[in-house]
Structure 1
């Protein structure tokens, strides 16, 4: 009996390769070439930047259940002597580094924001940038903060995260007149649990680029799902240096 045909499968049971992959495998080292070609096709697309995922434990000694075994909070390297800043940094736990789309969706599909406690925060930041105001890449910047009703906050956070890793937020800054101030003006995004509404923040490096800051807000409000739309009084921009707990770092310059 003739074997029934299945789309994408040859009658000998082997997969039918795309034309470009098949061409790559037409060599004496066919098996190895086929493996390499298939792996290349199946490899998830890399992100423009790699991102670190952080959890602010609000001073609790016990690590969250999703933290990797044996992973400790990073020691503080704050040099400005501010006790509040040192205490904040000591609460931060880096949970994961994300460099491709598969890792991003694995994190978002398996991380339950409902497990966060009141006043907890999570942060998705460019690798090498800590989610602290005094970090060299944050110190001259600020953040847009969106107050989102808690029942809508998880979806709002996911959509903003997609805008971040897809460089939609960075493109908004690039389209301003001061586009060359920083190549990577977007530092990261944060999700903070509060009682009635949760806070979702977008951190950028240059608070003086007022045109870029406004474009950043516009791209979020224009592209967020209609059911997540916010009122005018539910978002605001604030320089990091305007926070009462801000401690200017000692001279040393930006990285």
Structure 2
């Protein structure tokens, strides 16, 4: 299982699910009250959590056995969280990417969205991805952490974009690959209600492409890639038709 205990446990003395969320997400001032302690004041006995803008679920894909495994049998939901403290509790208690078996994956997606092309919130979308060809030359654990933090911190896109669905890391024999899944491929999504600009509604093709290109550039900067290195964007529909997650790129940055 991916959720084995490994390394220091930030929540060893505190059950994170019992800690109340701070009203309005404000950082409490420990000097103002002896009853309020954030993790920044006491990492073992804090009693206030800092809420995230969205609720997130961590998923794990275990390696196939080679006996005709069903995807749903391989995909496992690990935990759902909605605070900074819970994220670190999870991060410090799951197996690092560098220690996962070949053909394993982690997926961190907004709660209610399954990390599948067919999910109703993904089916009109696509993903930015980059494949690190040399596994020995990168710190995949650090990169994956930075990508997760950017996702839950809502810094991969502007607030009104509403594009980011989740992030994924793939472990393969010869490479690591990290991806960012988006709600659209730069086009308006059918069936969105009036006034729902996020996720493509009311966008021109030019605006839709710009939103995705901006996300791609932020993702590339996060991975600290050289200017000559390209990350690729492909649509899930194209991937499904080609039978591969490596469909022909629509855009590159």
Q: Same fold (TM over 0.5)?
A: yes
Distance 2:91 2:126 in 1: 26
1:91 maps to: 74
Q: Matches of 1:231 and 1:201 in 2, distance apart?
A: 18
1:194 to 157, 162, 172: 172
Structure 1 spans left out of the alignment, 5+ residues: 1-15, 22-33, 62-83, 247-255
Q: Deviation string for 1:128-178 (max 9, x for gaps)?
A: 00000010000000000111342332211111111100000132x74xxxx
Question: Which structure 2 residues correspond to residues 203-242 of structure 1 after superposition, within 5 A?
Answer: 203-208=181-186, 209-224=208-223, 228-230=224-226, 232-242=228-238
- Seen in structure 2, the aligned counterparts of structure 1 residues 193 and 38 have a Cα distance that, compared at 3 Å, is closer
Map 1:1-255; keep pairs closer than 5 Å: 18-19=31-32, 21=33, 35=35, 37=36, 42-60=47-65, 87-111=70-94, 112-148=96-132, 149-150=134-135, 151-171=138-158, 174=160, 179=161, 184-208=162-186, 209-224=208-223, 228-230=224-226, 232-243=228-239, 244-245=242-243
Quote the residue 2:18 is aligned against.
none
Local SS of the residue matching 1:58: coil
Contact 1:50 1:97 in 2 (8 A): yes
Q: Residue in 1 aligned with 2:190?
A: none
In the alignment, the residues of structure 2 paired with residue 100 and residue 132 of structure 1 have an alpha-carbon distance, to the nearest angstrom, of: 24
* 1:119, distance to aligned residue in structure 2 (A): 1.3
> Counting helix residues as a fraction of each chain, which structure ranks higher?
1
Aligned partners of 1:17, 1:131: CA distance in 2, in Å? 40
Distance 1:185 1:102, change over 3 A: same
Contact 1:140 1:240 in 2 (8 A): yes
Cα distance in 2 for residues equivalent to 1:38 and 1:169: 30
Higher relative contact order (CA 8 A, sep 6+): 1
TM-score, normalisation: structure 1: 0.63
RMSD value, Cα: 2.8
For the Cα contact (< 8 Å) 1:142–1:205, is it kept in 2? yes
Count of residue pairs brought into register by the alignment: 182
Change (3 A) 1:17 1:213: closer
Cα gap change, 1:223 to 1:123, in 2 (>3 Å): closer
CA separation of 1:115 and 1:152: change in aligned 2, threshold 3 A: closer
Change (3 A) 1:114 1:38: closer
CA drift at 1:101: 0.6
